Amino acid sequence: MIKQISVFVENRRGKLAEITEVLAANDIDLRALSLSDTSEFGLLRLIASKPDEAYKVLRESGMMVRLNEVVAVGVSDTPGSFAKAARLVADVGVNLEYLYALSSRNNDEAVIIMRLDQPGEGLAALRKGGFRIIGPEEIYN
């Protein structure tokens, strides 16, 4: 499992800059970002090189943050590969709540970050289906 930080963000100019500046000032590198918004607020999801430290410094800076776990899956960069992963998860009754991608150091695959409502069952199905589950050491470094 990979630690993900969720930050509640006011939808105002410069707020994303403030958040990322806090991380940069503490020598924390970003691995992945996802931002969704409404007219008044947004939800920033991020994977950081030092997740526990990132959580701490953001919280100390007055940000509303939450730490939770997601799954990182290597998906072949070929048509239909993600569809197969999504089908495997669905067929075992696991809900894929949301997802986003991060850049891969391996040119032959994409890395998909998934939030699953039943991670154990979803991971087992993905492994059985031949997908590579990516561990924290590969993501954070």
Residue 48 pLDDT > 80: yes
pLDDT digits (tens, 9 = 90+) for 64-108: 999 999 999 999 989 999 999 999 999 999 999 999 988 777 778
pTM: 0.88
pLDDT computed for residue 21 by the predictor: 97
Would you place residue 30 in the very low, low, confident or very high pLDDT band (cuts 50, 70, 90)? very high
How much of the chain exceeds pLDDT 70, in percent? 100
pLDDT computed for residue 57 by the predictor: 98
For 76, residues 6+ apart whose C-beta sits below 8 A from its C-beta are: 108, 109
> Distance between CA 129 and CA 86 in Å, rounded?
11
For 80, residues 6+ apart whose C-beta sits below 8 A from its C-beta are: none
Give residue for tokens 């970003």. Answer: 30
pLDDT computed for residue 100 by the predictor: 94
Range from 3-7, 13-17, 20-24, 113-117 carrying the lowest mean pLDDT:
13-17
SS3 of residue 135 by DSSP: coil
Q: What domains are there in the chain, each with its CATH number? A: 2-69 (3.30.2130.10), 70-140 (3.30.70.260)
Q: In the chain, what's the furthest Cα-to-Cα distance?
A: 45
